[in-house]
Amino acid sequence: MADTQSVATLIDFATSKIQQLQQAFSELESRSAISLNLKWKELEEHFHGLEKSLKKRFDRLEDQEKEYVIKVTEAQEMLEKREADVVAKELASLERLQEKRDAALSSLFDKYKTSSPEPICEGVSNGMADPVIKENFDVAAAKSGSEDIYTMENANAYTEPSSRLMKLCEEMDAEGLHKFISDNRKNLSSIREEVPVALRSAVNPFILVLDSLKGFYAGEILGSNGKKDGNLLGLRRTCLMLMESLEQLLADSLSDEQILTSDIKEKAKVIAKEWKPKLDHLDIEASSGNSLESHAFLQLLATFDIASEFDQDEICTLIPAVTRRRQTVDLCRSLGLSHKMPGLINVLLDSGREIEAINLAYAFKLTEQFAPVPLLKSYLKEAKKVSQGKAGSMSPGAQNEINERELSALKAVIKCIEEHKLEEQYPVDPLQKRILQLEKAKADKRRAAEAAKPQSKRPRATGSVYTPRITSMPDKSFYRAPPERFAYPYDRQYVYPAEAHHPTLMGSAPYTISPPHTTYYGNGYQVQYQTAYLH
């Protein structure tokens, strides 16, 4: 547009230049001794003709430019409208899919409630889910959806553990208690409800639980092959569940023999001092806020009321390792760390864990000091910065990994918004649109990778080896040529050697075929020999 205006200005300026040229020409004529053959009128007509031609072409170009601008504007509006329609359709499809998923889950939960006499395990508390409970609950819900009728044996499986648990606790059998829970891990949700009641029947539940902790560090979770030891992992989870169940009894009245004495605290303190060095080199980032070992240590301090025996700042350093577990808020309160929460939240923010920081801020009513919406936006901004900053110099595999991180961050933010009802302050529609874009790009890359793979030749259905046809056989027009490919599968394609046949007289000796290998044709049909073969 600026170039067009400059051209128009120059054309308008040409008139004044022509007038200046006329004055110079007149002065030249008056001072020249020789008369000029060229008249000014001719020059003026020539310049005016050029000026009109330029103006005409300029006006034409200006009109074409306006038409082009109008077309571009219309095309952009049409594209924006189509994009809005596509996004609306995608969101509508996503909503319908979510409704179907919710309906399916609701039907599974209803079926589980009606089929099982035991209550469903407790849900998410304070925005933090226990992966152990969630895993076992999902397995139970899936099984309840596939089994419509329970047999009497399965129905009694929920009532039988109560008496067995009571007996084990009465006998103070810590080893048997571990074995029973391990053998009935598929019913963990019902056992979790029964353990606190069963512990009450023990002579001293605190001593029983302390005895059950002896094998907690009996080995290493990760084996030489890099896989986790399932038995040891189950044992540690059982220890944690027993300590949590025991803490529930502290609020109830116990007999004089069942109280928490100083001797029991000293024994618990000895165990805690043995566990503490094993956590000094814990990689908090690698634990992703879900460290079972850190949780067990903190639960030991809270259950046996020995937190005062340890440095509070050292205890605080373990909290970031368990912030994704649902018991974190109750643990912090039991350990007397409520006043340390602002510092802990700042530690989480410095390490890029805004979601966990927001959950703690809501639990301890610190949202005025730590506003959730700006923190969520900052969290997404950092995720996008990582995914876009080094895209040019990264391999496709690394870029895919970073895109997965952004996708996970978007889903975590949407979940946090829904849990804390922040939709009015932070709409989720743009976030869902971005999720659809990333998932579409991911699917396109997967299809492109599959298309680029070389397609191997399909083997024959019978796995037989191809034998080339022999073309050197003599031409015998009186034999019917077999087809090159047969309509039925066969184990092997037989090729008969050439034979010399001499015509015989009518009624001569019968002609027979004696193939050296079998009495079957190449197509799998048996040879039917005649008594007299006529040539």
Give the pLDDT confidence of 344-363 residue by residue, as tens digits. Answer: 999 999 998 999 999 999 99
Q: How many residues does this entry show for the chain?
A: 535
Residues 6+ apart with CB under 8 A from 8: 58
Residue 240 lies in a domain: yes
pTM attached to this predicted model: 0.55
The most confident of the ranges 111-115, 183-187, 329-333 is 329-333
Residue 475's pLDDT band, with cuts at 50, 70 and 90, is very low
Residue 37's pLDDT band, with cuts at 50, 70 and 90, is low
Do residue 364 and residue 375 come from a single domain? no
Do residue 105 and residue 1 come from a single domain? yes
Residue 143 lies in a domain: no
Residue 321 lies in a domain: yes
Looking at residue 444, what is its pLDDT? 85
Do residue 281 and residue 201 come from a single domain? no
Looking at residue 32, what is its pLDDT? 61
* Cβ atoms of 356 and 348 closer than 8 Å: yes
Looking at residue 2, what is its pLDDT? 59
Residue 189 lies in a domain: yes
Residue 112's pLDDT band, with cuts at 50, 70 and 90, is low
Do residue 26 and residue 105 come from a single domain? yes
**Long-range Cβ contact pairs of 313-321 (< 8 A, separation 24 or more):** 316/340, 316/343, 316/344, 318/279, 318/282, 318/291, 318/294, 319/344, 320/284, 320/289, 320/344, 320/347, 320/348, 320/351, 320/353, 320/356, 321/282, 321/284, 321/287, 321/289, 321/291, 321/294, 321/295
Question: Considering its fold, how many domains does the chain have in total?
Answer: 4
Largest Cα–Cα separation, the chain: 141
Q: Which residue has the higher pLDDT, 38 or 269?
A: 269
Do residue 179 and residue 92 come from a single domain? no
Please determine, for residue 386, whether its predicted confidence score (pLDDT) is greater than 80.
no
Residue 16 CB neighbours (<10 A): 9
Closest by Cα among 172, 179, 175 to 198 = 172
Helix residue ranges per DSSP H, 124-215:
131-146, 152-156, 160-170, 174-183, 188-200, 205-212
Do residue 308 and residue 337 come from a single domain? yes
For residue 55, the enclosing domain spans: 1-109
- Of 93-102, 103-112, 371-380, 497-506, the range with the lowest mean pLDDT is 497-506
- Of 27-41, 90-104, 497-511, the range with the lowest mean pLDDT is 497-511
- Average pLDDT on 319-331 reads 92
* Cβ atoms of 349 and 343 closer than 8 Å: no
Residues 6+ apart with CB under 8 A from 488: 523, 524
Please determine, for residue 460, whether its predicted confidence score (pLDDT) is greater than 80.
no
Do residue 267 and residue 245 come from a single domain? no
* Cβ atoms of 320 and 343 closer than 8 Å: no
Do residue 353 and residue 380 come from a single domain? no
The secondary element (H helix, E strand) that includes residue 533 is none
Looking at residue 426, what is its pLDDT? 92
**For residue range 282-292, what is the model confidence (pLDDT) as tens digits?**
777 777 888 99
Say what percent of the chain tops pLDDT 70: 67
Do residue 349 and residue 375 come from a single domain? no
- Average pLDDT on 84-98 reads 85
Please determine, for residue 461, whether its predicted confidence score (pLDDT) is greater than 90.
no
- Average pLDDT on 425-440 reads 91
Residue 295's pLDDT band, with cuts at 50, 70 and 90, is very high
Q: What is the mean pLDDT of the chain?
A: 75
Residue 60 lies in a domain: yes
Looking at residue 458, what is its pLDDT? 61
- Average pLDDT on 261-270 reads 93
The secondary element (H helix, E strand) that includes residue 294 is helix 292-303
Residue 392's pLDDT band, with cuts at 50, 70 and 90, is low
